[in-house]
Structure 1
Amino acid sequence: MTALPGTTGRRRLYLMRHGHVDYFGKEIQAAGGDSRVVPLTPRGRKQAIAAGQALSHVKLDRALCSGVPRTRGTAELVLEMQDNPAPQLEVDEDLIEIHGGRFGQVKSRDDVARVMTLHFERAAEPGARMMEGGELFEEAQRRSVNVIKRLLAEPDWHTALIAAHEGINRLILSWAVGGGLAAASAFEQDTACINMIDFDMVPLENGQIGTEIARIIVKAVNVTPYNYVKHGMNMTSLESIFAKEPA
């Protein structure tokens, strides 16, 4: 198994959220509200480029995204900034954002942000879903964490990039710290942020072929290279995305 230099079995994951988008933009309106089509805004592209510059000297062995325009665009911009030859971008649809249900009565962007934020607060409740009729938080966490486990089971890499979504990142981080679904609401994920998670891998017991996770180390959370100290970033990411005049 390939490991980070200076270690015997450690692998590193740079887990990103996609850059800024406008969920009320013309693309999503033309698609009848299908959020899968929404691209990065000019602000989102600048954010992704800043992340790419911050990671430019990091040799990435693998790169994955959920496949929708906003995560693909983010990952591609990051990979374009690589000083070393960049890996081919892979798509794993199990990284797609938590499937949402019905919003109910919403009259403004503020209403949408409020409804979505409150649902993260209830993620640990039995049978909790992302809005009425949406995906179970438990199931979304299972499928996204399984992506990480499948990746860790594959040989010949030690540093990987994943470009995913706010909700999915919250669920992966809550699993990584052992906090259960109740921890998901605590992990703010600003647009184009970078999280860094290390995994100590050890051989399976009883002579079996393969490795397993011995320890998870969260090295960094919600780092935004376009504004490291988050000066002026006083809104949550949802509040910012659903602001009246997105850039």
Structure 2
Amino acid sequence: MPEPTNARRRIFLMRHGSVTYFDAAGKPVLPEQVPLNDEGRSQADAAGAAFAAAGVRFDRVIVSGLPRTVETAQRVLAVTGQDIALDVWPELHEIKGGRLSTIPSAELKRAFTGVFEGVVNPEQRFLGGESVGDMMDRVHPAIQKLRDDGSWDTVLLVLHGGVNCAILSLALTGQRLFLGGLAQTAGCINALDVGQDNADWVVRFVNHVPPAPLQLGSRLTTMEQLFTQYSRSR
């Protein structure tokens, strides 16, 4: 068999480290401002150590601009000893929620978890805010823009759980579908290879968490945990 002629490039796709979205009473913290907590900083450092141990060097590092992605990327770069200016792409911002206080109690659990269950209807809204379809319609063109840029071989994206699911769903299906059951643990790493053809995606691994690769802790999803935390204030 002839060797492939299209060399693939590597996308390392991370979710930001852990943050504290609700205080002890269940009151929300503004998601646009929340920083990494102690666990999140440890997760970011562990990811950096994994990249450093493998000798990975990045040509570009892209973040959404929210503080939790910026801090995670900065910590990864510090551990790997790389001095790279962060590219901020606001179109890769996490799916935007609405006002929690306006969601009826009977609809609250669905509002939290519905976006991350099975093949999600594009009209499904996250916490009464942005729809899954609207999110895909800003994320997918951004990924195409990245692929059209031939200046890089290895790129690090530090983004968010919902946005990562949109990217992984595109890579796995090649379609405008959203697979909500793709777990994205805080601080996780995914690896995807892309070729010159738009359909040429290879998903190498998903949801690798360097501090705890076997993930023996809670079996709740992130949104199930956040629903439990917020419910204390209702």
TM-score range, shorter chain: 0.7 to 0.9
Look up the match of 1:190: 185
Residue 142 of structure 1 and its aligned partner are, at CA, apart by 2.0
Q: Which moved more, 1:39-48 or 1:17-26?
A: 17-26
Residue 44 of structure 1 and its aligned partner are, at CA, apart by 0.5
Change (3 A) 1:170 1:151: same
Q: Deviations over 1:165-185 (max 9, x none)?
A: 111111111111117565421
Residue 22 of structure 1 and its aligned partner are, at CA, apart by 0.7
SS of the aligned residue for 1:81 comes to helix
Change (3 A) 1:114 1:11: same
Distance of 1:236 and 1:100 partners within structure 2: 17
Aligned length: 222
Conserved? CA contact 1:64–1:161, under 8 Å: yes
Distance of 1:173 and 1:160 partners within structure 2: 15
Conserved? CA contact 2:47–2:187, under 8 Å: yes
SS of the aligned residue for 2:74 comes to helix
Q: Deviations over 1:144-185 (max 9, x none)?
A: 122211111112211000011111111111111117565421
Amino acid at match of 2:60: R
Q: TM-score, normalised by structure 2?
A: 0.83
Conserved? CA contact 1:21–1:241, under 8 Å: no
RMSD between superposed Cα atoms in Å: 2.8
1:38 aligns with 2:34: yes
Conserved? CA contact 2:170–2:177, under 8 Å: no
Q: Which moved more, 1:140-149 or 1:173-182?
A: 173-182
SS of the aligned residue for 2:94 comes to coil
Look up the match of 1:141: 136
Residue 143 of structure 1 and its aligned partner are, at CA, apart by 1.1
Distance of 1:113 and 1:168 partners within structure 2: 21
1:222 aligns with 2:207: yes
Identity %: 36
Residue 46 of structure 1 and its aligned partner are, at CA, apart by 0.3
Look up the match of 2:9: 11
Change (3 A) 1:126 1:43: closer
Q: TM-score, normalised by structure 1?
A: 0.79
Distance of 1:182 and 1:86 partners within structure 2: 36
